[in-house]
Structure 1
C-alpha cells in the first residue's frame, strides 16, 4: 500500500526470494504464493515507488502489509510481467508516470497507436482511430471510467458514442488498456480493444490550478481532501474536485465554449473484509462550432482556413453519474466485487454537413437530440487456487446494462431555432445481460493459458413517435470464446499468442427493422506479440495482429437511414519503444501499421474510407534535479484513402507539441504549446457531397475541420495539505 494514503497498490511486482517466484498484486494490493518459509524474503517493486525487500517474518509481523514510498520513475527497476494478459501494463504505468496528462485531449492519446480528432468545437466526443479503424466516436472500442461505461448505445449521433469530457484529467490515477478481442470480462464494442480509466482513491495533494492562454482560453481546477492526514493514513479518503473551462477557440467564429465538472469520491474500509468506493459527478458543456468545411470554399477565397459555411452549428450536453463499488474479501482470500452505477445524460447537437444539397432554401442544418437514463450492475468473483501444481486464476462475472432514451430525435433545422422537418423521433429501450468466465492456468512460472467464454443477450424496443407510436421489438444473443497462450522466458521477455471473438451491437433502430438478424456483427482477432527488455533501460512491445469483421447493418445518425456494411479484413503491426538512457531523459515512440480492405468488393474498389495506414506518436521527456520538466512530443498520421477506390485522399499531418513545468513542493508553473511550429493541418477529413449556396450542382470532395494553430497556455498550481 501507499505510505501516505494506505491505498492499495495494484500491479506491483512481488518476487519471492531466493526462489524468484514472481506475481503481481491485485486491485486490493494482495498477492498469493503457494509456499513460503521463515528464511525467505519478499522483493516488491512498482513504477513510481522505492523498491522494498522485507523478510517473511517482518511481513507477517506488520500485518501482511508493506508500505511503499514514492520515488522517481526509473525504467531500470521495471521487470517484464510474468502474469498472463498483462503485456501492456508496463508501458501504461511508465507512460502515465513519466508523460502525465497535460490536457483533456491527452486522455485517450495515452493508448499507443490511438489517434483522436475533434470536429465540433471541443464539446463533441472526439473521433477515434485505432488498428486500421475509423472508430467514429467509439463504435469498436470499449471505454470506461471506474468500471462505468462511457460508450452510449443507440445514441442520437452514432452507435457507441463515447464522450469522456466528464472526466477531469488531473484525477486519473491509472489507465488500463488492452488491444484486441481477447478479454472475457469485456463485451460490447471490444473489437479493437478497451480503455479503462481509474480515478484516484485519494488525491496526493490539495491543489488549485489556474490556466490562461491564447484565443481567450481560461481553465481552473481544484482538488481538495475532505479528511485529515490521520484518516488517510488509515485508508479512509474523501475528496472533491471541480473544473471550469472557457475558450473562444481559434476559429474565425468564436466558440463561446463553456465546460463545468464537479466530482466527489469516498474510499475506505468498512471492516476487515469489506471496502467501499462511492463517487458522484456532474458535467455540463455548451459550445458553438464551425463544422466541416469544403476544400473548394477555402481555395476560392469564400472563407478562410478557419472559417465556416454555417456558423450556427454547436450544441450542449450534460451527464450526471453515481457509482458505488463494494469489494468483499472472504477468509480464503477470494473476493467479490459488486458495482452499481447510474447516469443521467442529455445531448443536443446542431450540424451541417451538406449545406444546401437537400434544402436549397433553408439549408441542411440538422438537430440530433436525446435524453437518457442509464442503469447498470457489474458483479464478479475472483479466486486464485492450486490444482496440484497448476496455479489457477479464476474470474466469474455478470453484467447488466439498461438504457432508457426518450425523444431521440433527428430533425432538419434553420439557425437552431426553426424546425423545418422531423426525420426521426422516438423512445429507445435497450437491455444487455451478460455472463462470463475467465480461467488462467499457470502450468509453470513460464507457461500460462487463458481460456474465456462470454455470453451476451440483447433485448431492444423502439417506440416510433412519427409512425403512430408503433413499437418494434427484437432480441439477439452471441457467444464470445477466448484463448490465449503466454510464455515467460524470463523477467526480461514475455511472448504471447491471443485469439478471440468479440462484437459490437447495432443501433436499436436497426435491430427492430432487421428483426434482430445480423445485428451483433462478430469480430475475430489474433495477436502474436512479445514484451522485451533487452537492456536495463530499454523496453519493447511488438505485435502482429489480424482482425475480421462480419456483415452488419449500420444506422447513420446524421441521415436517419440504415446502410449495409460488408465483411472487412485488417492486419498490421504495432511497435512500442520506451528508453531511458540516463535518469533525467525518457524517450518513447509508437509505430503502427495497418492494412484494411473490404472483403466483398473488387480489388481497387475495396479500400476502407478513412482507415489509418501508418501512424506514429513519440517524444522526449526531461526531468532535471532542478525540478524542471520538459517534454517535446509529435503526432504523425500518413495519407489515407477517403473513399472506396482511393481516388480521394485524406492528407496526413505531422504536429509537434511542447510542455515545460517547474515543480516545487508548494507550487507548479507550466507552459503548454500545441502545434509548436504552427503548421496548417486538417484534424478530421471526410469525402462528402455538398452544395454551396447558388452552386448549380452538388460537389463531392474533402471536407475538413482545421487542426489547432500555434496555441500557448500558461498554468500556475498551488499545492497544499
Structure 2
C-alpha cells in the first residue's frame, strides 16, 4: 500500500490545499486497487456506450432532451463546466482563472456567467442572484462528473416549471443516489494537472450511503501558474428509488487560484506580452460552497409528488484588473468583488393523471420558494490589498413562484401542454450609501402553450409560444446615485419579460438516426450585458433574436456513435441608437462534431471538434472577434473488467485561438498618462496538453 501511495503522491506534490486528506485518499485508492483484483466480486465495467432514448411522445419541444450518464462519460472535458456542452449549441468558455465561474454562449446570447441559462443540481439553483460580479453567477466547479446520472435540458421560455434565468435555456443536473460500483481514480498530466477521486455507495441500514472525495490541482499553460487547488466532497444517504424514496445530502467545496485575466492584443502584437502572460500577477481568488439538501418522492399509477429543500452557503473573494492603469496610474485598477451569501430554497410539485371526456390528461401544480441573504461589495485594491471602498451592500432577495401545467392528449396524433406561472419578488437593500438603500417589489405572470403533432412516420412537429423573465440585480432596483461618481442614475426594472416562439421537428425515420430542427425568435425587454471595463453586468436595451438549430445523433453500429450539431443566430437591439444595433459578444454561429467508439475489444475512444464562430464586439460591428476551433479526444484501454487507463488530449491541433474576446479601453503602465486605448482584450485557449487517468472499480 505504501509504495502505491508514494507513486500517487510524489514528494514534490503540487496540491497544497489539504495534504493529509490527499494522502488518505491515495492510500484508500491503493487498497481499492488491491480489492479490484479479487475474483469473487466481478462487476460490469464502466462502458462508453452512448445510447440515447427516443424522445418521441415525451419531449414538448424540438430542443429538449436528456443526456445520459453514458453520454456524459464519453465526453472529453478540460474543465467541469464543459459538461454542459452536451446540450447542443451551448459553448462553455473561460476568461480568467479556473476557479472563476465559466462563460456561457447559447442561442445568440453571450450569457456572461449565467444570466439567462438556468442551472440546477439536484433541484438546487446554481445561479446566484444579485451577485457581486455578475447577475446569475453560475459556478459549477463543485460538480463531480462521475456522480452525474443524467442532465435534462430545454431551450426557450416554454416550461412552466422553469422560472428566473431560463429564457435561453435550462440545465437540470441529477446526482446518483447510489453507484453501480465503487470508483477510485488517479489522473496526472501536463501543466501541473493532478486529480484523485474516491467514491462508493455501500449499504447502510435500509438504504445506501454515497460518499465521494475529489482532490484537484491545475496550473494551466500560463506564465504565472493558475495553481488552482480544489477540495470537493459529497455525502448522501438515500432509500428507495427515483419514483419512491428520499435522500439527505451534504456537499462541500473549497478552492483557491491565481488568474490570468484577458490581455490587450496590442501588447501581444508589440512583443510586450506573450499569449500566456498577465498584466497584473496578483489577480485571482478563493471560494467555497457548502450545502445541505433533502429530497422526497412518492408515486402511484395516478399521482406523483416531490419535494426538495436546500440550504447553501457561498463565499467568493474575487480580484480582477481589466483596465490595468487607466483609472489609477500609480496603484493600478485592480478591484475586489467579495460576495458572501446564504441561500435557502424549496421546490414542491404534485401531479395527478386521469381522463377527461375520454382524453388522457395530466395536471401539475408546483411551488418554488427562495431567499438569498447576501453581503457583497466593490473595493479598489492593489495586490489584493484594499485601498478604498466603492460600495458595500446587504441584499435580501426573496421570491415565490407558483405554476400550473396541463398536458392533454386529444387523440393519437395531437397533444397540448398549457401552463401558467406567477412569480413575486421582494428586494431589500441596505447600502453604505443611504441614498442607494431601499425596498422594491415586483410580480410577473408567464403563460406558456405548446402544440405537438404526430408522430407520423416516426416524426413529430412542435409549435411553442411562451413568456419568461430574468431578474435584475437588486441593487439596481433601489439605486439613486452612482457609488463611484455620485451622479444621479436611473433604477432598473426588477423583473424583465422575455417572449419566445418556436417551430420544430424531431424525426427518427432513418434507423439509428435522431434529428431535430428548430426555428425560433426570442425578445427581451432589456438585455443583460457584461461591461468589460467595469467587471460587472448591467441592464441594457431591448433585443431580438432569430435562430435556427439542427442537431443529429447517429448510431449506425454497436461500436460507433456520431453527433453533429449546428446553430446560427441573428441578434439585434430593437431600439434605434446611433451607436449601432449589434449586441456585443452575441454568438452567431456554433457547430460541433463528435465521434465515440466502443465495443472493439478492450479499446475505446472519442473525438470532439468544436467551432465557435466570430462575434461583434461593438454595437456598430466595426470590431469582430475571430472564430475558435478546438479538437479534443481520448483513447482508453480496459486492463481487466475492473480497471482501465485513459489518455486525454486537449487542443490537439494546438491552435492559437481565443477562449473569449472583449473590446474596451485600457492603459498599460508604459503608455502616456491620461491615454485610453480601445483594443481587443482576449483570453487564449489552452495549448495542446495531455492527461492520463487510471480508473479502478470495486
- TM-score tier, shorter chain, comes to 0.7 to 0.9
> 2:120 corresponds to which residue?
144
Matching of residues 546-695 of structure 1 within 5 Å = 546-551=521-526, 559=534, 564-601=539-576, 605-663=580-638, 664-695=640-671
Distance 2:96 2:578 in 1: 35
> 1:527 corresponds to which residue?
502
> 1:361 corresponds to which residue?
330
Deviation of the 1:489 alpha carbon: 2.1
Deviation of the 1:604 alpha carbon: 8.1
1:275 to 232, 240, 245: 245
1:395 to 343, 352, 364: 364
Deviation of the 1:389 alpha carbon: 1.5
1:707 to 685, 688, 691: 685
Matching of residues 204-219 of structure 1 within 5 Å = 204-219=180-195
Distance 1:497 1:435 in 2: 24
> 1:309 corresponds to which residue?
279
> 1:292 corresponds to which residue?
262
1:596-615 C-alpha deviation (Å, 9 max, x unpaired): 11111358811111111110
Distance 2:117 2:169 in 1: 5
Distance 1:599 1:557 in 2: 22
> 2:427 corresponds to which residue?
460
Gaps of 5+ in 2: 1-43, 481-489
> 1:426 corresponds to which residue?
393
Distance 1:522 1:543 in 2: 22
Q: Does 1:489 align with 2:460?
A: no
Distance 1:704 1:490, change over 3 A: same
1:121 to 80, 94, 97: 97
8 Å Cα contact 1:510-1:553 kept in structure 2? no
2:381 to 400, 413, 420: 413
Distance 1:260 1:206 in 2: 19
Distance 1:344 1:91, change over 3 A: closer
Deviation of the 1:93 alpha carbon: 3.7
Q: Does 1:174 align with 2:114?
A: no
SS at match of 2:267: helix
8 Å Cα contact 1:480-1:501 kept in structure 2? yes
Distance 2:613 2:46 in 1: 40
Distance 2:535 2:390 in 1: 7
Distance 1:95 1:577, change over 3 A: farther
1:161-190 C-alpha deviation (Å, 9 max, x unpaired): 000111111111000000000010110001
Gaps of 5+ in 1: 1-67
Q: Which has the higher contact order (CA 8 A, sep 6+)?
A: 2
Q: How many residues align?
A: 642
Distance 2:608 2:243 in 1: 45
> 2:293 corresponds to which residue?
323
8 Å Cα contact 1:425-1:465 kept in structure 2? yes
8 Å Cα contact 2:133-2:535 kept in structure 1? no
1:658-711 C-alpha deviation (Å, 9 max, x unpaired): 111223411110001000011111101100210011312111111011111001
Moved more, 558-567 or 152-161: 558-567
Distance 2:345 2:625 in 1: 39
Distance 2:180 2:528 in 1: 47
Deviation of the 1:100 alpha carbon: 4.4
SS at match of 2:494: coil
> 2:467 corresponds to which residue?
501
> 2:13 corresponds to which residue?
none
> 1:253 corresponds to which residue?
224
SS at match of 1:382: strand
8 Å Cα contact 2:263-2:681 kept in structure 1? yes
8 Å Cα contact 2:532-2:664 kept in structure 1? no
Distance 1:140 1:402, change over 3 A: same
State the TM-score, normalized to the length of structure 2. 0.88
SS at match of 2:238: strand
2:302 to 311, 330, 333: 333
Deviation of the 1:80 alpha carbon: 4.3
Deviation of the 1:289 alpha carbon: 0.9
Distance 1:98 1:158 in 2: 31
Deviation of the 1:96 alpha carbon: 1.9
